[in-house]
Amino acid sequence: MTSEIPKLFGTSGIRGKVGYDITLDIAVNIGMAIASYAGGIGSKIVLGYDSRTSNVMIENAVTAGLLQCGCHVLKIGMAPTPLVGYATMKLKADAGIMITASHNPPEYNGIKLWNPDGMAYRQDQERKIEEIIHKRNFKTVSWKDIGKVEEVKYVVSDYITDIIAQANIKPGTKVVVDCANGAASYLSPLILRKVGCSVVAINSQPDGFFPGRMPEPSQKNLQELMKIVKAIGADIGIAHDGDADRMIAIDEKGRMADFDKLLAIVCREIGGKVVTTVDASLCTDKCMDEVGGHVIRTKVGDVHVAEAIEDNNAQFGGEPSGTWLHPNFCMCPDGILSALRVIELVQKYGPLSDQLDAIPSYPTIRDKVNCENFQKELIMENVKAKLHIILEDVVDVNQIDGVRISMADGSWVLIRPSGTESFIRITLEATNIEKAHMIRNQCAKFIEGLI
């Protein structure tokens, strides 16, 4: 692959504004490229989409590309991302395609690709797709070999049966679930009820305008859920993003669970080898030390976590964002199974608030600076060359993903460009809140000065 080949994939598939970054031409080309790469005539490709208004349009364009290269398209309709990954594996398909922009606003859409084992395409596979599109090396077929379309919605019941078999939950836990009017609006509340939970569902009517709340499960967007959990005395609240590959928990006091602490207690419960990213807190390491476990760190992005799980035969992997992978079930991130895991912890060890409060706190700031995509490369070059000079007591500069700078007292900061949005992200952890704000201000001022 040569450097002039345009990059289409970010940290989680292809994503952008409909009509600008995501066009019908791109969708058709993706269909033809994945068909050409995955085997051509007779190949089986699973195809699903979330609740966005542009999804059927893009689905039809992708389908046209697949059919033009002789593929057999297995349509599962509106479905959360974990169901697409599962269906790709369960149906022994050659690839899976999920049409979604995950947590992005409604004017966005995107495409994610999945391997036969339910794992997201690796970077080298994504580069191959980019190369096929750039060189137009499509393996199209004649009229007599055009592929066929089949609806296989029965795989939903298989997913429900298999995911329930993974759960060890007793009846009675009171759960409020917020599906963001997204792809899991029907499925997540149904599964929670089937395992015995008493469920109150909000924003669980699919709607591509996301009228209940925006699909990013942030504290700002989850205020209604937090109030309801506390008001009705629920044991836990669960929130998904638009495609439900993520899960955010609300404790019984109506507080959003600290991302890092929640990841840490789940890692501790699973034990063994776990994978997380360079932006995850040291509290995961502390919890794993308690059970003799081992933490493996990798680049930000669920595909990198998946690769590290596979390469290291790890038992679990997750990002602080709530994107968790359960390799004993499927290599696709699954926010619904993640919710079941946290409910199990509540039943086993008591209130979630007590479990989280028992984990040591390290002041953490996750911030972002607006930055156009064309500026990112030059800004990151300056960050690599100069940022460590303005910070105090620097002991290590790690460039595995962006720039992570560690200081003598254990404080650290990670600067990296977003792979899906027009931001430079600042993530840091410090020994006290004053130092955290000082580091954040120094880094933001430095980046804003470059812009």
CB 429 within 8 A of CB 436: yes
Q: Which residues contact 286 (CB under 8 A, 6 or more apart)?
A: 264, 359, 360
The reply to whether 401 sits in an annotated binding site is: no
The reply to whether 289 sits in an annotated binding site is: no
User: What number of helices (H) and strands (E) belong to the chain?
Assistant: 15, 19
Is 198 catalytic? The answer is no
The reply to whether 241 sits in an annotated binding site is: yes
Using alpha carbons, list the distances in angstroms from residue 290 to 268, 272, 282, 284. 8, 11, 13, 10
Question: Rounded distance, CA 58 to CA 50, Å?
Answer: 11
Q: Where are the beta strands (DSSP E) in 55-197?
A: 72-78, 95-99, 108-114, 149-151, 174-178
Q: Work out the end-to-end distance of the chain between its first and last CA atoms, rounded to an integer number of angstroms.
A: 31
Residue 342 DSSP SS3: helix
Helical (H) or strand (E) element with 444: helix 433-450
Question: Rounded distance, CA 148 to CA 66, Å?
Answer: 9
CB 239 within 8 A of CB 248: yes
Cα torsion for 56, 58, 64, 67, to the nearest 10°? Answer: -80
Q: 372: how many CB neighbours lie within 10 A of its CB?
A: 10
Question: Rounded distance, CA 21 to CA 62, Å?
Answer: 15
Q: Which of 43, 51, 102, 185 is catalytic?
A: 102
The reply to whether 243 sits in an annotated binding site is: yes
The gap from C-alpha 272 to its chain's centroid, in whole angstroms, comes to 23
Question: Rounded distance, CA 101 to CA 10, Å?
Answer: 12
Amino acid making up residue 326 = H
Using alpha carbons, list the distances in angstroms from residue 244 to 102, 216, 302, 339. 8, 11, 13, 10
Give the catalytic positions in this structure.
Answer: 102
Sequence ranges of the binding site for Mg(2+): 102, 241, 243, 245
